[in-house]
């Protein structure tokens, strides 16, 4: 166990041991105990009753949080061709191009948060798999980053679209905003995410789907949420 500082221990003492808070109560508690000097990110963690080793039980998707994530705006790159280049620029993409962007990434450039591509260039982008894949930047139709609707993809990403995906242990970790957000805004973001995850339940998943939920800020201890009364 890592050694915890005095501020962390003081925050932990404010959480009732073993108690499962309502979603609103958990948000208020996270805001109360946050102690960092910077505006901490609030993260929602869900333990799901799925086996991610099975392809038909992979829970993955994207959702646009109604109140965004706060902090700096995401840097969005679009790789496409033809008239879609203009569409991407007009939608607000930070970098737009084709072979030039692909070569730039090959040369080591990775100063962006999201890469969107149209289907007609995916054959070329495939060569970037070893670079983009491990960083979670490879465009994928399932996350809406391979699409002909470049305008919507760029605008949604800029507005606060987040990806959720179970890890190998069946757990999802997703940011839902900043500690400085009003409780109602964090609550709306959390409910939007939870609703999306629940709707994404695989038909083959057996038993209890949502097994455990907690909320935490970047530096603070986590707060248990009552998984039986999420929405």
Q: Which pLDDT tens digit goes with each residue over 81-102?
A: 999 999 999 999 999 999 999 9
- The confidence score (pLDDT) of residue 86 equals 96
Q: pLDDT-based confidence at 231, cuts 50/70/90?
A: low
Each residue's pLDDT tens digit, 185-202: 999 999 999 999 999 999
Query: Mean pLDDT, the chain, as a whole number?
Result: 93
Residue count of the chain, please give it. 231
Query: Does 1 have pLDDT greater than 60?
Result: no
How far is it, in rounded angstroms, from Cα 39 to Cα 152?
29
Query: Mean pLDDT throughout 145-173?
Result: 93
Does domain 76-158 fall under CATH 3.40.640.10? My reply is no
Q: Is 147 exposed, middle or buried (0-12, 13-18, 19+ CB in 10 A)?
A: middle
Does residue 150 carry a pLDDT above 70? yes
For residue 166, the model assigns a pLDDT of 93
CATH architecture label of 19-69+161-229: 2-Layer Sandwich (3.30)
The predicted model scores a pTM of 0.80
Q: Residue with structure tokens 């083959």?
A: 204
Can you give the residue ranges of every domain in the chain?
Answer: 19-69+161-229, 76-158
Asked whether residue 3 carries a pLDDT value surpassing 70, the answer given is no
């Amino acid at each position: 166990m890592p050694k915890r500082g005095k501020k962390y221990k003081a925050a932990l003492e404010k959480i009732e041991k073993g108690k499962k808070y309502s979603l609103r109560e958990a948000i208020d508690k996270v805001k109360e105990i946050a102690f960092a000097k910077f505006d901490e990110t609030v993260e929602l963690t869900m333990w799901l009753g799925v086996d991610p080793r099975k392809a038909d039980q992979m829970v993955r998707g994207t959702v646009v949080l109604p109140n965004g994530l706060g902090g700096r705006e995401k840097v969005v790159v679009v790789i496409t061709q033809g008239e879609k280049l203009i569409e991407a620029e007009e939608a607000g993409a930070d970098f737009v191009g084709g072979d030039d962007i692909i070569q730039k990434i090959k040369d080591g450039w990775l100063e962006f948060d999201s890469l969107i591509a149209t289907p007609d260039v995916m054959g070329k982008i495939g060569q970037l798999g070893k670079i983009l894949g491990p960083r979670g930047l490879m465009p994928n139709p399932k996350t809406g980053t391979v699409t002909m609707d470049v305008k919507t993809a760029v605008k949604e990403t800029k507005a606060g679209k987040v990806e959720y995906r179970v890890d190998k242990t069946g757990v999802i970790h997703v940011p839902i905003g900043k500690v400085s957000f009003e409780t109602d805004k964090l609550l709306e973001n959390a409910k939007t995410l939870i609703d999306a995850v629940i709707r994404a339940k695989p038909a083959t998943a057996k038993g209890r789907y949502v097994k455990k939920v907690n909320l935490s800020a970047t530096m603070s201890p986590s707060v248990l949420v009552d998984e039986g009364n999420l929405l």
